Amino acid sequence: MPGNFRKEDLRIIKTYRALLSSMLMLLEQRNFAKITTNDICEDALISRSTFYCHFRDKYDLLRYWLSSLETELTQDAHEQENFFNSINGLISNNSKKITNLLQGADGEILDLMLSFMYDIMDSAFDDKGDSGTNNIIFSSFCSGGLLNLLLWQVQNKFPMDSQFMNPYLYGLLENIWNWNSNQEAIDGGYSI
């Protein structure tokens, strides 16, 4: 019996990998809005019924991808430099995917992206030892700002060039990061 369970686990893992790989490959080529569940299934050589056994829709598959990225990014969140390098790597390595995801993004995509970015920022502040309301404020501010910056870049066909944007973006994040630490020292740990 345990042998059958293990084989089923491997099949599920292979199914997830195939579907995710297909969605990401398609996302390199066109906007998320133009990708259908059928497209993903055909490319992955997986039936639609199998897709729907694991995911509600393409947004659920997107949520799965963002969750796996979040896990990778939050591993480095405790060190500021590693965290910034991880964010940079995410944007640089996925700039075409991010562009195609955000072009013509609907409310569900924007909500998913905002939640994804908030969770990453919140994890960074938590790992730094900060807590309380300050985390909510800073995480909300940073995630909203980053999402709006990415949207602006996509809408204005401005390249996601890390060499141009990093000094500004990281400078802003570093100032917020340090201000929060200084504020907690001044306030004696009192949260707003």
CATH number of the domain at 24, please: 1.10.10.60
Do residues 47 and 62 both lie within one domain?
A: no
Strand ranges inside the chain, DSSP E: none
Do residues 129 and 176 both lie within one domain?
A: yes
Whole-number Cα distances in Å, 99 to 31, 51, 112, 113: 8, 25, 15, 12
pLDDT tens, residue order, the chain (192 aa): 444 445 568 899 999 999 999 999 999 999 999 999 999 999 999 999 999 999 999 999 999 999 999 888 877 666 666 777 777 778 878 889 999 999 989 999 999 999 998 988 888 776 555 556 677 888 888 888 888 888 888 888 877 666 666 666 667 777 776 765 665 555 555 444
**Domain end among 55, 78, 94:** 55
Which position has the token pair 């309380």?
132
Q: At what angle do helices 80-93 and 58-74 cross, to 10 degrees?
A: 150
- The predicted pLDDT at position 190 comes to 47
Do residues 109 and 122 both lie within one domain?
A: yes
**Domain end among 12, 31, 55:** 55
What is the reported pTM?
0.80
Alpha-carbon distance of 69 to 27, in angstroms, equals 16
Number of H helices, E strands in the chain: 9, 0
Residues whose CB falls within 8 Å of the CB of residue 30, separated by 6 or more in sequence, listed in order: 100
Do residues 114 and 155 both lie within one domain?
A: yes
Do residues 37 and 89 both lie within one domain?
A: no
Long-range contacts of 161-169 (CB under 8 A, 24+ apart): 162/88, 162/91, 162/92, 166/84, 166/88
Do residues 40 and 120 both lie within one domain?
A: no
Do residues 98 and 124 both lie within one domain?
A: yes
Do residues 67 and 130 both lie within one domain?
A: yes
Domain around 30: 1-55
Alpha-carbon distance of 4 to 8, in angstroms, equals 6
Q: Return the closest-CA partner of residue 117 out of 153, 78, 90.
A: 90
- The predicted pLDDT at position 52 comes to 97
Do residues 113 and 26 both lie within one domain?
A: no
Do residues 27 and 82 both lie within one domain?
A: no
Whole-number Cα distances in Å, 182 to 108, 130, 164, 175: 36, 11, 28, 10
Do residues 46 and 69 both lie within one domain?
A: no
- The predicted pLDDT at position 191 comes to 47
Q: Return the closest-CA partner of residue 113 out of 124, 97, 96, 101.
A: 101
- The predicted pLDDT at position 63 comes to 96
- The predicted pLDDT at position 127 comes to 59
Do residues 188 and 115 both lie within one domain?
A: yes
Per the structure, the count of domains in the chain is 2
**Domain end among 34, 55, 76:** 55
- The predicted pLDDT at position 1 comes to 41
Q: Which helix H or strand E contains 176, and what residues bound it?
A: helix 162-187
**DSSP label of 33:** G
